[in-house]
Amino acid sequence: MAAALPEPHGAAPGPAAAPGRGRGPGPCGMELELELLRGARAGPAACRGEEQRGADCNFLLHQFFEGNFERILLNPKIQEIFSAQTIDEEIIDNYLENQILAYLSGHSEDQFERQLVVFLLGIGSLQLFVQSNWTGPPVPLQVEDILPALSTGKVAMPQNIRATLLNSLILDGESIYHLLHNPILLMLARTILVNCRDKLNLFQMLPWWTMRCVNIHQQLLAERSSQLFTIIQCCVDKVQSNKTFLCSGECGNLAIQFHLECGYALLYYYDYTRAKENFSAAQKMARLSTTVTGALGKRTRFQERYLAQLILDVQREGDALCQTDLTLTPTPLENLPKNLDLSDDTLLNSIELADRVEDEALDLSAVELAVILAICVDFQKNSPVHKLTEEELLAFISYILSQPKFWAIQVTTLMMRTKLEKGNSRRIERAMKQTQVLADHFEDKTTPVLERLKIFYCCQVPPHYAVKQQLATLLSELGCVSSALQIFEQLEMWEDVVICHERAGKHGKAEEVLRRELERNETPTLYCLLGDVLNDQMCYDKAWELSGHRSARAQRSKGLLHLRKQEFEQCVQCFERSVQINYLQLGVWFSLGCAYLSLENFEGAAKAFQKCVMLEPDNAEAWNNLSTAYIRLKEKHKALRSLQEAIKCNYEHWQIWENYSLTCIDVGEFGDAIKSYHRLMDLKDNYKDVQVLKILVRAVEEGIADRKGDSAKPLAGRLRELFGRVTSKVTNDAEIWRLYAKLCGDGHTVNPEDNEKALQYLSKAYRCKTQSSGWEKDAASFKEVAKQAIELARVSIKCSKSKTNPQEAVQMLTSARLNLRGLSTKAQQLYIDFASGEIQSEVADEKKTMDNLILQLEELGDQLNKRKN
Is residue 444 scored above 80 in pLDDT? yes
The helices-and-strands tally (H runs, E runs) of the chain is: 40, 5
- Whether the CB-CB separation of 65 and 37 falls below 8 Å is answered with no
Mind giving me the DSSP string for 538-602? Answer: HHHHHHHHHTTS--HHHHHHHHHHHHHTT-HHHHHHHHHHHHHH-S--HHHHHHHHHHHHHTT-H
pLDDT of 425: 86
DSSP three-state, residue 174: strand
∠ Cα 71 217 487 (to 5°): 90
pLDDT tens readout for residues 408-437: 999 999 999 999 998 888 899 999 999 999
Question: What does the pLDDT average to over 324-349?
Answer: 86
Tell me whether residue 21 is exposed, middle or buried, using C-beta atoms within 10 angstroms of its C-beta: 0 to 12, 13 to 18, 19 or more: exposed
Question: What does the pLDDT average to over 198-215?
Answer: 95
Nearest to 330 by CA among 410, 273, 274: 410
pLDDT of 570: 96
pLDDT tens readout for residues 580-630: 999 989 999 999 999 999 999 999 999 999 999 998 888 899 999 999 999
Question: Residues 393-399: contacts with CB within 8 Å, 24+ apart?
Answer: 393/420, 394/310, 394/420, 395/292, 395/310, 395/311, 395/312, 396/290, 396/292, 396/312, 396/372, 398/311, 398/312, 398/350, 398/351, 399/311, 399/312, 399/314, 399/361, 399/372
Question: What does the pLDDT average to over 251-270?
Answer: 93
pLDDT tier, 27 (very low <50, low <70, confident <90, very high otherwise): very low
pLDDT of 112: 86
Which one has a higher pLDDT value, 517 or 860?
517
pLDDT tens readout for residues 383-401: 877 888 899 999 999 999 9
In angstroms, the first-to-last Cα distance of the chain is 107
Is residue 20 scored above 80 in pLDDT? no
Least confident of 263-272, 520-529, 744-753: 744-753
DSSP three-state, residue 815: helix
Residue 57 CA to its chain's centroid (Å): 45
Is residue 90 scored above 70 in pLDDT? no
Residues in the chain: 869
Least confident of 506-520, 723-737, 767-781: 767-781
Contacts of 675 (CB under 8 A, 6+ apart): none
Tell me whether residue 100 is exposed, middle or buried, using C-beta atoms within 10 angstroms of its C-beta: 0 to 12, 13 to 18, 19 or more: buried
- Whether the CB-CB separation of 133 and 180 falls below 8 Å is answered with yes
Question: What does the pLDDT average to over 456-466?
Answer: 96
Rounded CA separation 85/704 (Å): 84
Question: What does the pLDDT average to over 236-242?
Answer: 91
Above pLDDT 90, what percent of the chain? 56
pLDDT of 854: 86
pLDDT of 87: 45
> Helix/strand/coil (H, E, C) string of 613-649?
HHHCCCCHHHHHHHHHHHHHCCCHHHHHHHHHHHHHH
pLDDT tens readout for residues 54-81: 788 899 999 999 999 999 999 988 988 8
pLDDT of 319: 63
Mind giving me the DSSP string for 394-445? Answer: HHHHHHHHTS---HHHHHHHHHHHHHHHTT-TTTHHHHHHHHHHHHHHTT--
pLDDT of 136: 92
Contacts of 64 (CB under 8 A, 6+ apart): 36, 72, 120, 123, 124, 127
Question: What does the pLDDT average to over 188-201?
Answer: 95
Containing 349, the helix (H) or strand (E) segment is: strand 347-353
Least confident of 442-456, 552-566, 728-742, 745-759: 745-759
pLDDT tier, 138 (very low <50, low <70, confident <90, very high otherwise): very high
pLDDT of 93: 81
288-300 β-sheet, strand order:
307-316, 288-300, 347-353
Containing 27, the helix (H) or strand (E) segment is: none
* Strand ranges, E, within 21-140: none
- Whether the CB-CB separation of 209 and 123 falls below 8 Å is answered with yes
Rounded CA separation 796/789 (Å): 10
pLDDT tier, 324 (very low <50, low <70, confident <90, very high otherwise): very low
pLDDT of 237: 93
Is residue 215 scored above 50 in pLDDT? yes
Which one has a higher pLDDT value, 280 or 797?
280
Is residue 361 scored above 90 in pLDDT? no
Give the number of other Cβ atoms within 10 Å of residue 805's Cβ: 10
Tell me whether strands 347-353 and 832-833 are parallel, antiparallel or unpaired: unpaired
- Whether the CB-CB separation of 75 and 56 falls below 8 Å is answered with yes
Nearest to 205 by CA among 141, 159, 251: 251
Which one has a higher pLDDT value, 384 or 351?
351
Which one has a higher pLDDT value, 174 or 568?
568
pLDDT tier, 147 (very low <50, low <70, confident <90, very high otherwise): confident
Is residue 156 scored above 50 in pLDDT? no
Rounded CA separation 557/536 (Å): 10
pLDDT tens readout for residues 498-538: 989 888 888 789 899 999 999 988 999 999 999 999 999 99
| Helix, strand, coil in percent for the chain, rounding step 5 | 65, 5, 30
Is residue 814 scored above 50 in pLDDT? yes
pLDDT tens readout for residues 5-19: 554 554 333 333 334
